[in-house]
Amino acid sequence: MASFNARITMPAEAKAGEVVEVRVLVRHPMDRGGQVDAEGRVVPRKILNRLTVTYAGEPVFRYDMHTGVSANPFVSFTTRAIETGELSFEWREDGGATFTRTARLVVT
Partner 1 sequence: MSSPISPACVHPEPALSRREVMAVGAAGLALGALPAPARAAAPPALAELVARITEGAVPERGRITFDIPQLVENGNSVDVAIQVESPMTDADHVRWIHIIAEKNPFPDVARFHLGPRSGRAEIRATLRLATSQKVAAIAALSGGGYVIADADIVVTLSACIDGG
- 3-class state of residue 86 by DSSP: strand
Cβ-based nearer residue to partner 1, 80 or 104: 80
Q: Provide, rounded to whole angstroms, the least separation between the CB of residue 102 and partner 1.
A: 17
Which residues sit at the interface with partner 1, rule CB under 8 A? 19-21, 23, 29, 31-32, 34-38, 42-43, 55, 58-80, 82
- Please state the closest distance from residue 39 (CB atom) to partner 1, in A: 11
Amino acid, single-letter form, for residue 21: E
Residue among 79, 88, 77 at smallest CA distance from 24: 77
Residues 16 and 85: their CA atoms lie apart, in Å, by: 12
Q: Smallest distance from the beta carbon of 63 to partner 1, in angstroms?
A: 6
